[in-house]
Structure 1
Amino acid sequence: MEDLHRILEAIQDSGQRSVLATITHVEGSAYRKAGASMLVFEDGSQIGVLSAGCLETDLAARVPEILAAGVSCGFVFDMQSSDQLSWGEETGCGGVIHVTMEPVNGVLLEHLRTLKDCLDQHTEVMIIKKIGPDRSVSDYAFVAERERFFGDWRGGFPQNLMELAVSEGYFVHTYYPKPRLMIFGAGPDARPLAAFAAATDFSVTVSDWRPALCNRSYFPDVDALLVGFPEETLDKIQSTSNDYAVIMTHNFRRDQQLIRMLSERKLSYLGVLGPKHRMERLLNGDPAQTNLRSPIGIAIGAEGPVEIAVSILAELIDTYRKNRRRTTINYAT
């Protein structure tokens, strides 16, 4: 997912000065798309990446100068040319990347904290940056939901936000809350799935009625562990249409119970581990919900818990990306 979530968490905990680097425009192909961000601290440490290592060293070298000046700067990296003096030497990327670098001063820091609060509350936020002729950021604003507005924007604010996305001189991007993955079943095969999902910035919840399995020693990276039977734990979960659920308890009766209860909720993804014939027995003749998947995972011939976890996570990411492409925030115009 986006590095922004890790960046916002790091800013909360660090006392160092830092610079936020953001790709605002890409011409041709590039490792990361517009909207990708990286945070560079004063000591040179970094959160996130903007390339496969082509840009990071140069961007880090510019941080002391930007912090000293206290103003944003914009840079263009031409990865197309094979000229030895250009950024294209033997990279093979073939694109032109526009990057803005903004010192995280007190004002921007406060706005980034507000952004984190919105995302933690499962609210999508649109960022609008006005890019000057020198490619620096002259104004920026965050818009959450229909009326919540915060940022550093001088003068009148544009009414039709979506038109700015294709307007020269503006950068518009939507930040989404972390997608939540709910894993029901804490057996050994759930452990790699939970770890991989957390590493790709899913907010992971694991639920199981067996405390010997559902504990932090097996799931150190998840956000929540819920011990209890389905009828006990599901009441504690306020699910949304942006949530994903995988049923893998390996208990026939519990799987049936979870299918029945979760099918009543509007989820982005609901999958059950197991072969097709088991799924037919679980449904017992009932028509499958349109969003119910089984078998789950991308067909890669996976064997064993780790490979199966990779195939499931690939399908989750694929579903997430497709959902994002179909989703547009309904802002007032």
Structure 2
Amino acid sequence: MTHEFEHIINFYSNSVEKKLSCVLATIVELKGSSYRKPGVRMLFREDGLQLGAISGGCVEKDVWNYSKDIFKTGKSKTISYDGRYRLGCEGIIYILIEPLNIEESDIDQIKRFLFKRKDFKIDSYYVLSDDLRIQPQGSVIHFDNKTVYFNKNIINLDSNSLLLKFSNTLRPKIKLVIIGTEHDASHLCACGKILGWEIIVVGSPNSSKTIENFPDADDFKLINSENFKELEIDKLTSVVLMSHNYAYDLKNFMELSKYELFYLGILGNKKRKNRLIEDSINFNIELKEKFLNSVHSPAGIDINAITPQEIATSIVSQILYESRKNKKNVK
């Protein structure tokens, strides 16, 4: 959900420039099951524009109607929807609706922080009551030892013992590094972009391709493996080798063994993976167990994929699974 929050901040920043007010809706509690879970957010602007979704389309219209009152009163409200009777789901969702009023300087700090690829936390304070006298309700974001309130009415949130708190820790977006510039790489770019990932395409310095060949990429680099530091690989970085050139893949494989990444996919069969490992050892490259455990070949889950689009779908599915395996609240 980090990419959704990033979109909300950018949309809100644009709205501030246009002097248009916004209201933020957050699912803060769920009893039973629902299409979307606590922590999901949606923005409503006074001119009717909306960003995001907090359901499959069942509740947004009603939340917009509640938002109209929030625009007028400036007071937050928590509403509930019983999906067992109204939405077709098997649960009750509680939605905090609050005016969004972040200082421009704080907006800029949040934007800059999101580029740092660090965890951050959002606390939402609410009550399961329709009594508007129970104030304040609202959300606070914590990052880099800094606290930013989503609206001016909630500075003393912790002092109100009647309030409940939903805490949501968000991790950086998954970074997908695609090493290879053939046509199938563009399909993998597109799949990753839909999921809100940060996409970097890497090619050989003598490649004739440009970023125009990969419109869904956030960055495009023609570099040798010796310059992989430019990729800023971290623990939430996934890499896919798909150059269709064994010698090029081998150089990159050996260099990547120095980094701590959670996923390395190799396009091709298991023989290609075994050959890469054997040749790396012959070059006296130390391959640690943790690195080898991150290697997946052939890349992607087995869905009998045939087309480049299907193969790309299987790869991003495997990356997503590996990023969330044995973890909670990974976004």
**TM-score w.r.t. length of structure 1:** 0.84
Contact 1:214 1:226 in 2 (8 A): no
What is the match of residue 171 of structure 1? 166
Matched, 1:190 2:185: yes
Contact 1:214 1:225 in 2 (8 A): no
| RMSD of equivalent CA atoms | 2.6
Pick one of 148, 151, 155 that aligns with 1:150: 148
| Distance in 1 between residues matched to 2:136 and 2:260, nearest whole Å | 40
The structural deviation recorded for 1:284 is 2.0
Question: Structure 1 pair 66/250, CA: closer, same or farther in 2 (3 Å)?
Answer: same
Mapping of residues 1-333 of structure 1, within 5 Å: 1-2=1-2, 3-14=4-15, 15=18, 16-81=20-85, 88=86, 91-107=87-103, 111-132=106-127, 134=129, 138=137, 140-144=139-143, 147-151=145-149, 152-154=154-156, 169-209=164-204, 214-232=209-227, 234-284=228-278, 286=281, 289-322=292-325, 324-325=327-328
- Paired residue secondary structure (1:186): coil
Larger CA deviation: 316-325 vs 220-229? 316-325
The structural deviation recorded for 1:61 is 2.2
Question: Structure 1 pair 63/150, CA: closer, same or farther in 2 (3 Å)?
Answer: closer
| Distance in 1 between residues matched to 2:54 and 2:296, nearest whole Å | 34
Larger CA deviation: 318-327 vs 176-185? 318-327
* Number of positions where the alignment pairs a residue of Structure 1 with one of Structure 2: 309
Larger CA deviation: 56-65 vs 259-268? 56-65
Moved over 4 A (4+): 109-113, 155-158, 210-213
Question: Identity, % of aligned pairs?
Answer: 29
| Distance in 2 between residues matched to 1:212 and 1:251, nearest whole Å | 13
The structural deviation recorded for 1:188 is 0.6
Instruction: Return 5+ residue gaps in structure 1 as ranges.
Output: 82-87, 159-166, 328-333
The structural deviation recorded for 1:124 is 1.0
Contact 1:183 1:247 in 2 (8 A): yes
* Superposed CA offset, 1:19-75 (max 9, x none): 111000111110100000011122222211111110111112222221111121111
The structural deviation recorded for 1:4 is 1.3
Instruction: Return 5+ residue gaps in structure 2 as ranges.
Output: 282-286
- Paired residue secondary structure (1:98): strand
